[in-house]
């Protein structure tokens, strides 16, 4: 479902973040993306939701080529992809419920459906009782759960997570991972960039290592492979 | 876009107004101060303009009829004056009336002249466009049986050029003030939106289209404009009501000029203030959001 063909990305400042990447990811896979900082991991992730456009090469998601996707079609793409970030990226003036509901409002869902879906997904992440609270009133782990709820409320086929546990303590990180596992068990593809060695080595999945803009390793059930 | 989404945008914009607390207050204050200035200034300028118009309308052309003219030629002359292009109205004043005016102004001694009135019969004419008084007067002078045509030569030219300068200066000042107001207000609104640049980025990441993001902001700008217009509208109304009540009776005695009537004028000014508030608010948010949508 996701395919990168000879993807090359050079930033205006001359840095080459992707130097001919080829990869295929099937529907329902769980993929860790690992690698040292500044090795092109973030660019690899960002190109998948069209935050960055490749300089050359093709990125196909369900047959849509992101390299040639017009700007005004980007919102349509993003509605089919859930994105989770290290810094949560919640809207500070909206409460938990509204933050999650926003993803459904943009697709002009009916209020009734929005209410049901939001409450269901808040139940899944265990925040049903905090629906009226604002992001600043929540702990980091709770904020990340809101952000995950928002990313999956629209039942996307793909969830992309850029170091989702980067700001969280170990215990909370495991809780977050459990949620991702559950989402993955429902058939959603998950691509997760991470520095968390313990998680990668414990919950075994496919591991893709990115270094110097290239994929240097791609193993199913692989290890983190870098010194902590 | 579906109806419920439009409703959603309205709710969202109102929510944003209330949740942004201090930012809303800052923008609304800026709008209030500038609109108040503009409102008061527009009121003053429009009244000065009215005074200028009144003064101009008082400019008359006085046509002295030849002493030898008989009844028939006077009637004919009146007809000819009326038919002259650019004439608004003509009033005939026989020499008896003219003498009476002098008697009123200078005393009963002049009644001696009632035996043998040395004055001319006179037509008072007004030009449709007071600024063309001179040209019209010259045309009248060419008619038969006119002894002399007077229109305050020299004096009215000075008056007109003074009034025209006044009008132009006023217009320039109003435009400058409007421009400053636009700049000041849209800048304040811009600051409130810059503070929300991150929000806009997040909305885009979640798959919102540009218009979906833009419309609540634009509506919010509109509310800011409306909220900011309330105090100026109230103050301007109260102010003009009192000034009018105080000055109008006194000016009525002089009859030289009057203030603009309270009733239609104050609604026009209020409408203008509200319209400006809304336009500036909408424009300010539109421009600011536009900048951040190019992410």
Contact pairs from chain A to chain B, CB under 8 Å: 53
Regarding predicted confidence, which is higher, A38 or A175?
A175
A169 Cβ contact list (under 8 Å, min separation 6):
A140, A141
Burial class (CB in 10 A: 0-12, 13-18, 19+), B257: middle
pLDDT over 90 at A198, yes or no: yes
Shared domain check, B65 and B46: no
Shared domain check, B270 and B186: yes
Question: Could you tell me if B4 lies within 8 Å of chain A, comparing CB atoms?
Answer: yes
Question: Could you tell me if B294 lies within 8 Å of chain A, comparing CB atoms?
Answer: no
- Of B11, B5, B27, B4, the closest CA to residue B211 belongs to B5
What's the pLDDT score for residue B38? 86
Beta bridge partners of A206: A31
Rounded to an integer, the average pLDDT of B126-132 is 84
Residue B129: which CATH number? Answer: 3.30.70.3040
What is the DSSP code (8-state) at residue B97? H
Beta strands in A169-225 (DSSP E): 189-193, 206-211, 214-219
Question: Could you tell me if B10 lies within 8 Å of chain A, comparing CB atoms?
Answer: no
What's the pLDDT score for residue A228? 52
User: So what's the ipTM on this one?
Assistant: 0.90
Please report which confidence band the pLDDT of residue B255 belongs to, taking 50, 70 and 90 as the band edges: low
Shared domain check, B197 and B67: no
Shared domain check, B195 and B70: no
Contacts of A108 in chain B (CB under 8 A): 1-2, 4-5
Q: Which range has highest mean pLDDT (A47-56, B86-95, B115-124, B169-178)?
A: A47-56
Shared domain check, B51 and B196: yes
Q: Tell me how far CA of residue A219 lies from CA of A4, A177, A192, A206, A224, in angstroms.
A: 17, 20, 15, 6, 10
Q: Which range has highest mean pLDDT (A31-40, B24-33, B41-50, B255-264)?
A: A31-40
* Confidence (pTM): 0.77
Shared domain check, B288 and B197: yes
Shared domain check, B245 and B188: yes
What's the pLDDT score for residue B4? 85
Q: How many structural domains are present in chain B?
A: 2
Shared domain check, B109 and B229: no
pLDDT over 70 at A68, yes or no: yes
Please report which confidence band the pLDDT of residue B287 belongs to, taking 50, 70 and 90 as the band edges: confident
Range of the domain at B120: 60-151
Shared domain check, B120 and B39: no
Cross-chain CB nearest to B206 (options A51, A110, A150) = A150
pLDDT over 60 at B295, yes or no: no
Shared domain check, B163 and B288: yes
| Residue ranges covered by each domain of chain A | 90-155
Residue B270 · residue B233 · CB < 8 Å = yes
Shared domain check, B166 and B247: yes
Please report which confidence band the pLDDT of residue B254 belongs to, taking 50, 70 and 90 as the band edges: low
């Amino acid at each position: 479902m996701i395919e990168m063909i000879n993807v090359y990305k050079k930033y205006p400042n001359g840095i080459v973040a992707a130097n001919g990447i080829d990869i295929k990811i099937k529907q329902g896979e769980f993929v860790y993306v690992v690698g040292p900082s500044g090795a092109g991991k973030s660019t690899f992730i960002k190109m998948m939701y069209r935050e960055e456009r490749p300089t050359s090469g093709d990125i196909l998601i369900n047959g849509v080529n992101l390299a040639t996707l017009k700007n005004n079609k980007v919102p349509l793409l993003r509605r089919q992809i859930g994105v989770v970030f290290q810094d949560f990226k919640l809207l500070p003036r909206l409460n938990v419920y509204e933050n999650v509901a926003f993803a459904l409002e943009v697709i002009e869902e009916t209020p009734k459906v929005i209410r049901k879906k939001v409450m269901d997904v808040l139940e899944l992440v265990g925040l049903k009782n905090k629906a009226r609270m604002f992001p600043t009133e929540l702990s980091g782990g709770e904020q990340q759960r809101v952000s995950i709820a928002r990313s999956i409320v629209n039942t996307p086929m793909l969830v992309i997570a850029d170091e989702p546990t980067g700001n969280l303590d170990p215990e909370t990180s495991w809780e977050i991972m459990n949620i991702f596992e559950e989402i993955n068990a429902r058939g959603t593809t998950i691509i997760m960039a991470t520095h968390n060695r313990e998680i990668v080595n414990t919950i075994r999945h496919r591991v893709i290592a990115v270094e110097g803009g290239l994929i240097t390793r791609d193993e199913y059930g692989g290890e983190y492979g870098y010194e902590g | 876009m579906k109806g419920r989404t439009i409703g959603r945008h309205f709710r969202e914009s109102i929510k944003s107004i209330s949740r942004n607390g201090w930012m809303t207050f800052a923008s609304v204050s800026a709008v209030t101060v500038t609109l108040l200035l503009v409102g008061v200034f527009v009121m003053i300028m429009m009244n000065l303009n009215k005074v200028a118009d009144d003064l101009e309308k008082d400019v008359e052309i006085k046509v002295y009829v030849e002493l030898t003219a008989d009844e028939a030629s006077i009637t004919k002359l009146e007809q000819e004056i009326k038919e002259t292009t650019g004439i608004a109205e003509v009033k005939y004043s026989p020499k008896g009336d003219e003498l009476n005016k002098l008697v009123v102004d200078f005393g009963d001694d002049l009644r001696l002249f009632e035996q043998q009135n040395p004055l001319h019969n006179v037509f008072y004419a007004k030009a449709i466009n007071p600024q063309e008084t001179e040209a019209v007067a010259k045309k009248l002078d060419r008619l038969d049986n006119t002894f002399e045509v007077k229109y305050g030569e020299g004096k009215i030219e000075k008056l007109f050029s003074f009034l025209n300068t006044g009008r132009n200066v006023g217009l320039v000042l109003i435009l400058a003030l409007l421009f400053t107001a636009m700049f000041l207000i849209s800048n304040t609104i811009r600051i409130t939106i810059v503070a929300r640049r991150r929000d806009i980025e997040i909305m885009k990441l979640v798959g919102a289209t540009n218009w979906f993001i833009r419309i609540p902001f634009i509506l919010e700008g509109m509310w800011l404009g409306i909220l900011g217009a309330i105090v100026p509208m109230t103050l301007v109304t109260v102010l003009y009501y009192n000034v009018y009540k105080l000055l109008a009776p006194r000016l009525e005695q002089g009859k030289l000029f009057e203030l603009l009537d309270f009733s239609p004028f104050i609604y026009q000014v209020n409408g203008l203030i509200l319209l400006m508030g809304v336009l500036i608010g909408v424009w300010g948010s539109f421009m600011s959001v536009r900048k951040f949508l190019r992410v």
